[in-house]
Amino acid sequence: MRTTYKVLAYLVAAEVAVQAMVMVWAVAGLGKWVDGGGVFDKAVIEGAAESGALPFPEILGTIVHGINGTFVIPGVALAVLILSFFTKVRGAIKWAVILLVLVVVQGKLGFLGHDLPLAGAVHGLNALALFGVALHTGRRVRNRTAVAAEQPEPRVATPV
């Protein structure tokens, strides 16, 4: 359980990195396409996934970002929370909750950004917080088990 918890927490951090990468990849591809005469508008955006013929390949980045952000990362964060109930590591639940809350906030900010672009800027900032918390959530399990190995839990006789 602990290992899975740790691995999934790290996976959230890795996914946040992927999210940042694919967006910049998409924006760079868009810039190159526009430079070559392409015109980007709603019709291009909405038709991109349906037609099977992408206007420029990097637009895949926005699709990956959407799938990751809507399904994969919330799913993994939820799994981390459920696993935290079973890890028997102090603070595991607390950090899993913080992680999930940040993921939910991140999703909210992302969708809000469609209408309120400034929310997109906060989305970028919150990504850093999410990345840090995900790393910390994973790392502290290792630290804790290391500490536990060095200092065995004192056994206390239980009075009947």
Partner 1 sequence: MNGHSGGRHHRLKGAVNPGAVRALRMVLPILATIAILAPLAWLWQASRVPSPYSVMDMGYLDYGGGVAPHPGGGHGGQMQGHVHQSEPSRLITDLVVDAARPADVRVDLVTRHETLTVGGRSISGFTVNRTSPGPEIRASQGQLIEVHLRNESVSDGVTVHWHGVDVPNAMDGVAGVTQDAVPVGGGFTYRFVAEQAGTYWYHSHQVSNPQVVGGLLGSLVITPKSGIAQQVDVSAVAHTYGGLRTINGKAEVLRVPARPGHRVRIRVANTDNGPMTVWTFGSYRLLAVDGTDIHQPTEVSERSVTLTAGARADLEVRVPGDGSAVRVQLSKASAVVIGPAGVDAPAPPQPSADLDLLAYGSPTPLGFDPAHPDRRFDYRIGRRPGFVKGRPGMWWSINGHLFPNVPTYLVREGDVVVVHIENRSGQVHPMHLHGHHVVVLARNGVAATGSPWWVDSLNVSANETYDVAFVANNPGIWMDHCHNLKHAAQGMIAHLMYEGFDTAYRISGPADNQPE
Residues that bind partner 1 (CB under 8 A): 38-39, 41-56, 59, 70-71, 75, 78, 81-82, 85-86, 88, 90, 107, 111-112, 114-116, 144, 148, 151-154, 156, 158-159
- Cβ-based nearer residue to partner 1, 3 or 132: 3
- Report yes or no: 80 and 96 within 8 Å, Cβ to Cβ: yes
- Runs of H (alpha helix) within the chain: 2-35, 42-51, 60-67, 73-87, 92-112, 117-150
- Nearest-angstrom CA–CA distance, 103 and 49: 25
- Report yes or no: 55 and 48 within 8 Å, Cβ to Cβ: yes
CB 97 to partner 1: min, Å: 11
- Cβ-based nearer residue to partner 1, 35 or 50: 50
- Cβ-based nearer residue to partner 1, 59 or 134: 59
CB 61 to partner 1: min, Å: 15
